[in-house]
Structure 1
């Protein structure tokens, strides 16, 4: 039962609900995205600033909301897969923090393409991709988020808390989403988040319904 005064119950609910809300925000963010809705160039952001702002905000909170969920998943891995869970969990949290911050670029897209010719705005955005941003923000953000989520799901399944459909579904959902978003294919751009919502939703609901004993199991000495 949910309780603000029970630390275990609150953290379990927060983690479980986050696992549902994160992919839901990703799906809604893709649906609202002007380019996914039929636009074919970045000028779609300038022409639809309200939709772009809502989409960027939803995508930002998708990555942020995955953080308490990942922490909850790692918390439950106590024996088999614990090393993988700890390392992948730390990398994933760092990646999600970095990746969420990149969503602010959409707001700069709006203003630049509203105030400047398209060629000049594009040149400014390309020049803004400094080596430090790519190496310290984009690469850790994307690799930590995408690879990390899959590895955390592997550790969770290896610990016996879910079937191997969980990491398989996570990998498939991310791959489908990236293919759709990168290739301008709206059906795939929506399908990937739907798959992620299904697999993380099942795990999140199961987490919410856990008993106090299941959430806080007695740790044995073996960590193989």
Structure 2
């Protein structure tokens, strides 16, 4: 588990491993301090009543998805021989999706500002008003920000399993965690958190696997050419 800022193999391996642990941990923490266990209008009212708590929730959730990016790149890097094509496709989708997802957290701050400046019913009208820009933003930004990271991470975990770097538990935990994350009912903290906690267990274990790799496992040194070996 050696680490060195001056060694590219060591630093990049540690950056990927720590990111895989930190990303889901920040998502769990953001949900623990969420200002509301409601949904829709009631959630926005709770956000407006707790601006600092909401800001921390959105900021931690933003960085949770940001920190997935180096972890995803690290997982793609270690997939060799088997599962390579799947890892490349799933990794690219996951990176694009995670970046989009992180930026969606800014909408919480916009809604918070509207609900603090306007009466609740008027704020509801403003936030739910039809906007022509939605015809572009929703399919080109919002939907990729939700679908690509969730589906991409499952497929990337399957590629890692296919490469023999983890057992079946890794894609199973990512699939179960994501499914519970998007389907959990609001109002009950246990069900709200169980999906992200499963993701933390799965990605955390994989992050530790990267941290425990030797530098040669992370990036094998190239074999000498036949001419060099003969010399």
- Calculate the TM-score normalised by the size of structure 2: 0.90
- Secondary structure at the aligned position of 1:42 is classed as helix
Which ranges of structure 2 fall in alignment gaps of 5 or more residues? 224-231
2:78 equivalent among 76, 79, 82:
76
Q: How far apart are residue 46 of structure 1 and its match?
A: 0.3
Separation (CA, whole Å) in 1 of partners of 2:170 and 2:82 = 16
Q: Alignment RMSD, CA only? A: 1.9
Which ranges of structure 1 fall in alignment gaps of 5 or more residues? none
- Calculate the TM-score normalised by the size of structure 1: 0.92
1:191 equivalent among 180, 190, 194:
194
Answer yes or no: is the 8 Å Cα contact 1:173–1:192 preserved in 2.
Answer: yes
**Bigger mean CA offset, 150-159 vs 210-219:** 210-219
Which residue of 1 is the match for residue 45 of structure 2? Answer: 43
Which residue of 1 is the match for residue 229 of structure 2? Answer: none
Separation (CA, whole Å) in 1 of partners of 2:220 and 2:92 = 21
Larger gyration radius, structure 1 or structure 2: 2
Q: Deviations over 1:41-76 (max 9, x none)?
A: 320000000000000000000100000000000001
- Secondary structure at the aligned position of 2:123 is classed as helix
* TM alignment of 1:25-174, pairs within 5 A: 25-36=26-37, 40-127=42-129, 130-174=134-178
Number of paired residues?
219
Separation (CA, whole Å) in 2 of partners of 1:101 and 1:41 = 19
Q: How far apart are residue 36 of structure 1 and its match?
A: 2.8
Separation (CA, whole Å) in 2 of partners of 1:51 and 1:13 = 31
